[in-house]
Amino acid sequence: MTFVANPDEEIGSPFSTPLIQDLAPRHDAVLVLECARANGDIVSARKGIADYEVALTGRAAHAGVEPEKGRSAILAAAQQILDLQALNGRWPSVTLNTGVIHGGTRPNVVAASCDYQLDLRAATATEFDAAAGEVERIVSSPPLDGVSATLKRAAYHPPMERSPAAARLAALAIEVAEEIGFELHDASTGGASDANTTAALGVPTLDGLGPVGGDDHSADEWLDLSSVVPRITLLAGLILRVGEAL
């Protein structure tokens, strides 16, 4: 197996621009306007995420005449994917999903190639590193002789673990919301954002300060227009008083 890592993965990924990585450390805090959770919660912790691209190479052969000469990359991929999916639940916060797969040329040809893409997430660096190590171990040993594999980490966000500074920012936001006249709570979530990058850079970060929304990444994704003005008011109040939490 050949493993190709992202050279910038220590602090960010293709998800985050160099501009963010350059500007964030110059500031006292980062307030991120990703949508609030469907119940209005702000976000002080997010799972880390890695997108992997796996390419398997086998050997083509006529599936009816001499299949024994073939080495099916699709079959190897299928067995690997089952092993990878079994990582779900091994650690409390780890989730892994195989979301895209392509392979083969024709039904009568043993597939010489197969590519698939993985999404790996975990809430802590410890669990993330353990799960990533297992991904690399599984992919590095294709289950069929004569099949080779290449693993590329295409994108990466480090876990945004709840820090004392983020907890203080969340407490201040809850206080400001109460003064405005609505109830607010703090939460962790499985999705990643630029907040992961700025938190990993050591800058106090609070996310989920945008309008209320839900059903992410579906045809039913929505945003509550009535929440826009209260959330802008919350943001303004938090900006005015952010120094209290630092």
Q: Residue 80: pLDDT above 60? A: yes
CATH number of domain containing 144: 3.30.70.360
Instruction: Classify residue 17: in a domain, yes or no.
Output: yes
For residues 214-224, average pLDDT: 91
**Rounded CA gap, 111 and 58, in Å?**
7
Which DSSP category does 27 fall into? S
For residues 34-41, average pLDDT: 93
pLDDT level of residue 155 (50, 70, 90 thresholds): confident
**Rounded CA gap, 7 and 92, in Å?**
28
Q: Which two three-digit tokens encode residue 94?
A: 């780890």
As for how many domains the chain has, the answer is 2
CB atoms within 10 A of CB 69: 12
Query: In the prediction, which pLDDT does 158 show?
Result: 92
CATH number of domain containing 238: 3.40.630.10
What lies within 8 Å, CB to CB, of 102 at 6+ separation is 114, 115, 116
Q: Residue 11: pLDDT above 50? A: no
Instruction: Classify residue 24: in a domain, yes or no.
Output: yes
Compute the C-alpha angle 117/123/128, nearest 5°.
55
What value does the mean pLDDT of the chain take?
A: 91
Q: Among 134, 157, 180, which residue terminates a domain?
A: 157
Query: In the prediction, which pLDDT does 245 show?
Result: 81
pLDDT level of residue 7 (50, 70, 90 thresholds): very low
**Rounded CA gap, 102 and 109, in Å?**
15
